[in-house]
Amino acid sequence: MELYRKPAMIQETISCEVVVGMQQGLHARPADLLAREARKWRSRIELVAKSQRVDGKSILEVLTLAAEAGTRLVVEATGPDAREAVEAIGGLFERNFNEQTSDG
């Protein structure tokens, strides 16, 4: 009997570096928006800060980063829609999660 092994699908991993721009840091509201956006995608999404890696789809894990203003994070996605997921989440950081800043 011959066994046929189906080749594993290649899972693309895409990442980008973002900077927390909100004066209050990555607090509950933006963490919730981030987790909601991450859950829209099939890919596994993680945030990396120094030696800490968390599930981007979990608001509680995102909050454990305690990311203050100026913190550099890496957004990493692995899966079929990784590129689109990273672009969408990176866009949230670029727009500072649509929060008003004190400098206008």
Residue of 27, 44, 53, 83 with catalytic role:
27
Give yes or no: 27 in active site.
yes
> Which phi and psi angles does 68 have, rounded to 5°?
-85, 170
Asked whether the beta carbons of 96 and 68 are under 8 A apart, the reply is: no
Instruction: Please choose, from the candidates 41, 29, 36, the residue with its C-alpha nearest in 3D space to the C-alpha of residue 98.
Output: 29
| Catalytic site positions | 27
